[in-house]
Structure 1
């Protein structure tokens, strides 16, 4: 897990993420160490994509707080039909665009926007959604409620990663049509997989 670092507007990439499997297996992508950016560790990512393995090929995926793009690019590498990244930080979004170009990933859409703003008006349905927001911001509950208003395909899978000490309160208001399939804790991080039913 990377430390939170402050970044000047002109800071260059100072770290990297690794794609674990798929067509870009072993590829390292540069990332910006923006304040609050917390790339999912390889160990957690490997577990999550073991859970998701049967569902990623051909899926339309949404990475709500894309940051480094580690989750979305992993899904793209593993055969997702299309991946939409939402990232508020302008420099981080620019880095995502650059990394998509490095991978020659034509099936990637990058939105430089707030996830909560983007999700106000449903425009399409997603099969797999990643929610990995900055810690201590209480974004999970708001994101979940917006997603449940027309963004999710039948039987869609939703991955949520958050600080473990806040998970009980943040997840208390989850919709009743979200079924918990898997959950684990790694250090200070709690991560879970849910399935949506219409």
Structure 2
């Protein structure tokens, strides 16, 4: 049995930091996106991720955000509620800062829904990762808030990971571009219109 305050590891699977291992907090609801799913997702994003501005709404382990940075995203904002997870994410980013002088990464500790409601980005994001804790059922509210306050632009890509037996209702102007299942997980890539 794993202790609540222990850490686990994830491995970057592509890009500049391929093979590098990172620790992440063992927190309730924190479920890193698996290697096979990440490989497929970043194959889908291969023509769009380099130089992209990315937002990871429920960053958790940082698997998606760190993978995006490794593959050349120019900016990644990592939002996470759990304080211990944020501390580990900041530690990883500080260790990598010398290797990514052209890239920017910021960890914001707080409530994602509140951030979406009250924040106003300088620029819309090119890629948004939405993989909340499944039990929290935050997809539809998060998607609606993304549509407000300029978080997305036409052609923004939105990644959504959910249980395949609980697919969220997402905005009508999001075109489903890619969709796959892995076990009990459905992962989809949408294009905002």
What TM-score range do you get, normalising by the shorter chain? over 0.9
Task: State the distance in 2 between where 1:157 and 1:122 align.
Answer: 19
TM-score when normalising by structure 2: 0.92
1:179 to 175, 182, 191: 175
Task: Kindly indicate whether residue 72 of structure 2 is the aligned counterpart of residue 79 of structure 1.
Answer: yes
Cα offset, 1:131, TM superposition: 0.2
Q: 5+ unaligned residues in a row in structure 1: which ranges?
A: none
Where do residues 42-191 of structure 1 align in structure 2 (5 Å cutoff)? 42-104=35-97, 105=100, 107-120=104-117, 121-124=119-122, 125-149=124-148, 150-167=150-167, 170-171=168-169, 174-191=170-187
Residue aligned with 2:135, SS: coil
Cα offset, 1:114, TM superposition: 1.1
Residue aligned with 2:49, SS: coil
Aligned length: 186
| 1:112-143 CA distance string (max 9 Å, x none) | 01110111132231000000000121100000
Task: Kindly indicate whether residue 26 of structure 2 is the aligned counterpart of residue 33 of structure 1.
Answer: yes
Q: 5+ unaligned residues in a row in structure 2: which ranges?
A: none
Distance 1:136 1:185, change over 3 A: same
Indicate conservation of the 8 Å contact 2:29/2:135, yes or no. no
TM-score when normalising by structure 1: 0.90
- RMSD over aligned Cα atoms: 1.5
| 1:139-190 CA distance string (max 9 Å, x none) | 00000000011201220000000111111xx22xx22211000001111111
Distance 1:188 1:23, change over 3 A: same
Cα offset, 1:6, TM superposition: 6.7
Indicate conservation of the 8 Å contact 1:129/1:159, yes or no. yes
Distance 1:186 1:26, change over 3 A: same
